Amino acid sequence: MQQLARLDRSDFEVILTLNLPEPEPLPLNTLPYPVRLIQNPAPKGFGANHNAAFQEGNGDYFVILNPDIELTEDPFGPLLKLAEQDSLTICAPLILDTAGQVEDSARNFPTPYGLFKRMLYRLLGRPIVPDTLRQDADTLQPDWVAGMFVMVARETYQRLGGFNDAYFLYFEDVEFGARARLAGCHILVCKHARVIHQAQRDSHRRLRFMLWHLQSAAKYFLSFVHLRVLIRRLAKTK
């Protein structure tokens, strides 16, 4: 919130969601931009929270922004320049970790084998940088982008129906990206916009989150949306 306040911008509003009953993180009336507060009496899933926030906003563009994203520079200018070229463009910045290394935040659609490989690499502590992020172009074109920071035109988010509330955590961004691609949207990563992801890795919670991940993965791989992605991919190979 304070990093947003330091940006030389006056063209945005913030919808802040407190997913658990807790005090406000700071006096909101001291911030130089309008803030609307959503306080959940009980936790909601990632997608449900953002769908609710979308209903509260009025801007031409809807930005999904996780609280563990650090803004060291203004990423919105380059993203807006890219998004304004086509209302069907969904764009994201390049995500770096705290060591300045590129995170695997933009990927091709997952497969069961690829998911198993990723989980194994994570357990072994090996870095993963997908081919989609190894390209030299200023703008990358993955199949989907992680939901930690995404910009989408309001009309496009509304047309797609937002996130699928059936996913509590994990794979809601994959499923959203799949529906977006099937609807003709372009998903782009702008290398001129960079942010830092302050990832939290609590070892005592890892098993629970892994189970959530597996449940959401199974839901996606068994979904009609995934079937349509497979059919389109097979059709392109013929």
What is the pLDDT, as a whole number, of residue 104?
Answer: 86
Of the chain, the percentage scoring pLDDT greater than 70 comes to 90
Of the chain, the percentage scoring pLDDT greater than 90 comes to 63
What is the pLDDT, as a whole number, of residue 207?
Answer: 78
Range(s) of the domain holding residue 35: 2-237
Helices 46-56 and 172-182 pack at an angle, to 10 degrees, of 60
pTM (2 d.p.): 0.90
Residue 195 contacts residue 149 (beta carbons within 8 Å): yes
Exposure b/e, 207-216, CB count within 10 A at least 16 = b? eeeeebbeeb
Residue 96: which H helix or E strand, with range? strand 89-96
CATH at 112: 3.90.550.10
- The answer to whether residue 222 scores a pLDDT higher than 90 is yes
89-98, 133-142, 171-180: range with lowest mean pLDDT: 133-142
- In the chain, how many domains are there? 1
- The answer to whether residue 183 scores a pLDDT higher than 50 is yes
- The answer to whether residue 165 scores a pLDDT higher than 50 is yes
- The answer to whether residue 131 scores a pLDDT higher than 70 is no
